[in-house]
């Protein structure tokens, strides 16, 4: 088991009857752990865990309870993911735009594997805050190493060869097959790029500006990158989450 520092917050409630943990939501915030805890306290919010840059793990809410971390969110038929998820916050002063510390990632992988194994969370339900709330959130950011984590058993990645197995070319349909809410197609497309094609996402050195300007409203996925989207949709379509 991962060693954790317990510092419980009172901002949680019971999971609704019948709501099982089916997802792991990964976040980041531009604060050190102790500062983040105070910010959460002031805003009456919470996450189940925080992982500091040195790899220290803090637990704020029991996994059996519904922490208040995801807000308005949708993913693969789930609405309001607080009900169905465990949330982990990472400390990142750049809001995930600069490389994460190796010690922090080691702790994240270890803790995530424990959670995934315990709740039998499918790879397709290991998600970014930006995946489930694409109009509102940019975290855990373009520097988050999704491919490496997938290789370590945390999350899902694609095989570009699978693009040829997917006949569909409609971006909205492909994004929806992965799990995105496509009611704002530009936001969903940009969130997809944050996760899978971070080179297409602009760096914003002003973190406060980034928080309020999550995506360009006129963003369209460039046609040369459509095969990556198709390969992801094929992969996510084949991995059916447990109900």
Question: 18: phi > 0 → left, psi -120 to 50 → alpha, else beta; which?
Answer: left
| Exposed e or buried b per residue across 130-152, where buried means at least 16 C-beta atoms within 10 angstroms of its C-beta | bbbbbbbbbbbbbbbbbeebeeb
Q: Which of 101, 108, 102, 104 is nearest to 86 (CA)?
A: 108
Q: In angstroms, how far apart are the furthest CA atoms of the chain? A: 50
Task: Tell me whether residue 44 is one of the annotated catalytic residues.
Answer: no
| Exposed e or buried b per residue across 75-105, where buried means at least 16 C-beta atoms within 10 angstroms of its C-beta | bbebebbbbbbbbbbbbbebbbbeebbeebb
Catalytic residue, chosen from 89, 98, 164, 168, is 89
> Rounded to the nearest 10 degrees, what angle do helices 185-196 and 226-238 cross at?
80
| Exposed e or buried b per residue across 37-52, where buried means at least 16 C-beta atoms within 10 angstroms of its C-beta | beebeeeebbbbbbbb
> Rounded to the nearest 10 degrees, what angle do helices 171-178 and 185-196 cross at?
60
- The DSSP secondary structure of 48-86, one letter per residue, reads SEEE-TTS-EEE-S-TTEEES-S-S-EETTEESGGGTEE
Which positions are annotated as active-site residues?
89
């Amino acid at each position: 088991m991962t060693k954790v520092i317990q510092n419980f917050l009172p901002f949680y409630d019971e999971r609704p009857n019948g709501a099982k943990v089916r997802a792991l939501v990964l976040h980041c915030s531009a604060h050190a752990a102790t500062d983040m805890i105070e910010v959460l306290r002031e805003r009456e919010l919470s996450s189940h865990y925080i992982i500091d840059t040195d790899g220290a793990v803090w637990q704020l809410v029991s996994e059996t309870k519904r922490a208040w971390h995801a807000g308005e969110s949708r993913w693969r038929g789930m609405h309001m993911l607080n009900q169905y998820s465990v949330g982990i916050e990472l400390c990142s002063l750049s809001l995930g735009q600069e490389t994460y510390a190796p010690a922090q990632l080691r702790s994240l992988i270890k803790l995530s594997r424990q959670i995934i194994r315990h709740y039998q969370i499918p790879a397709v339900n290991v998600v970014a805050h930006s995946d489930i709330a694409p109009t509102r959130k940019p975290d855990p950011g373009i520097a988050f190493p999704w491919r490496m984590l997938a290789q370590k058993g945390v999350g899902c990645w694609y095989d570009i060869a699978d693009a040829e197995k997917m006949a569909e070319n409609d971006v909205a349909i492909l994004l929806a097959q992965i799990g995105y809410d496509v009611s704002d197609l530009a936001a969903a497309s940009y969130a997809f790029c944050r996760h899978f094609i971070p080179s297409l996402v602009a760096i914003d050195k002003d973190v406060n500006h980034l928080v309020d300007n999550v995506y360009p409203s006129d963003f369209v996925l460039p046609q040369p990158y459509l095969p990556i989207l198709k390969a992801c949709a094929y992969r996510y379509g084949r991995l059916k989450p447990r109900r």
